[in-house]
Amino acid sequence: MAPRLGKSRRFYRSGETRHPLKKPSIHCWVYNHQLYGIGDQVSFAVTAFRQHGYPVSVGRQPRRSSLNVVIEGFPTEKSRDVLLDFCRSSRKRVAVIMTEHLDFQHGQIYFHGAPLGSQNDYMHSATILKRIRHLMECLPYLRCFFVLGDLPELRNISVMLPGLDVRTIPFPALGDGPCEAVGKASDTVHDLVFTGAMTEYRTKLLALLEKEGLSVACPRQFISRNRRNAINRSGKVIVNIPQREGWQWLSLMRIAAGLQTGRATISLGTQDASRIASCCTQLDILDHDWVSRMQQCVDDWKSLYLRDLVSYSAMAQRFERERPFPHDVFEYWSITDRVCH
């Protein structure tokens, strides 16, 4: 069983008496996305907020009585204007959870590890430019950027955007459910599962896996979290495939979602050193024996999962000791936005 992270208890002083400080409510305002596309990020944030004692709600409309948090992604002027109109009319700010790899290196903006404007078969370059421009136009109304765990890294983002606070939401504890799910082997009918947007590179590797005799469940389209979780349980191991060759990062959300459904993740062709790397298996597809090692992982899938679950619990506790939950942000924000405790 994965041990739970300790709950934080904060106080204010009244004379010689110390009283528990009632925490402000947080509202995940998800107006600018389809929920199936950001369900894992919302679940991560909501779980982390609640485990640290904050009342949390989720909805498509903002709440003036709460601190509003949105997921980055403003591809249209309308999506930008909705946020600006709310902030101007309410005289409040919002925080943005960053989900894409946006960095500032060598004097220029990088998106998904490549200079802005590079070819990207996962997201059209015009969409990328609009998202970044609209995000920049929202900056005067943002309280801070939040990062879930330690990805995306947002390298040198403070150089590009001086004065904007970037804070970390630590990994939440997973609870007891995953340990029970791993015992449900009757659902497994496939060796591997892959869910995610299809790119040329992913299609190529999936075809190679099937050619090597491994059965792969892959819906090849966006699906709901409930449907995704059911598909995860139909396989023994989840496979993480980067969007393109040379992609630097693991999918933190895919790995965490896998652990929550009782399945470990094997990542192909990544050499990530972020914290979630300790909770999965990375295979170098340039090694001659990578397919046989994949088969070994499939054969030993239950032990692999239990190992990664224990690793996640230890990693999450260690991470929060190093980067505590940002209570100070929410306390100050509740004052400036006039959200009653």
Compute the average pLDDT of residues 299-307.
97
* Alpha-carbon 23 to chain mean position: 24
Name the band, by pLDDT with cuts 50, 70 and 90, for residue 4.
very low
How many Cβ atoms from other residues are within 10 Å of residue 281's Cβ? 19
Which of helix, strand or coil describes residue 52? coil
pLDDT score, position 107? 93
Share of the chain above pLDDT 90, in %: 83
The CATH class for the domain spanning 11-170+323-336 reads: alpha beta
Name the band, by pLDDT with cuts 50, 70 and 90, for residue 341.
low
Compute the average pLDDT of residues 256-265.
96
pLDDT score, position 9? 46
Residue 304, pLDDT > 80, answer yes
Compute the average pLDDT of residues 50-79.
97
- For the domain with range 177-316, which CATH number is right: 3.30.70, 2.60.120, 1.10.10, 3.40.50? 3.40.50
Model pTM?
0.91
Compute the average pLDDT of residues 152-180.
89
pLDDT score, position 7? 44
Give me the helices (H) in 11-154, please: 35-51, 77-90, 125-138
Which of helix, strand or coil describes residue 111? strand
Name the band, by pLDDT with cuts 50, 70 and 90, for residue 176.
low
Name the band, by pLDDT with cuts 50, 70 and 90, for residue 35.
confident
How high is the mean pLDDT of the chain? 91
Amino acid, single-letter form, for residue 311? S
Token representation of residue 134:
């609209």
Task: Please write the tens of the pLDDT for every residue from 116-147.
Answer: 988 877 788 899 999 999 999 999 999 999 99
Domain with CATH 3.40.50 in the chain: 11-170+323-336, 177-316
How many Cβ atoms from other residues are within 10 Å of residue 56's Cβ? 17
Buried-state track 129-163, b at ≥16 Cβ within 10 A, e below 16: ebbbebbeebeebbbbbbbbbbbbebeebeebbee
Q: How far apart are CA 25 and CA 258, in angstroms?
A: 29
pLDDT score, position 12? 40
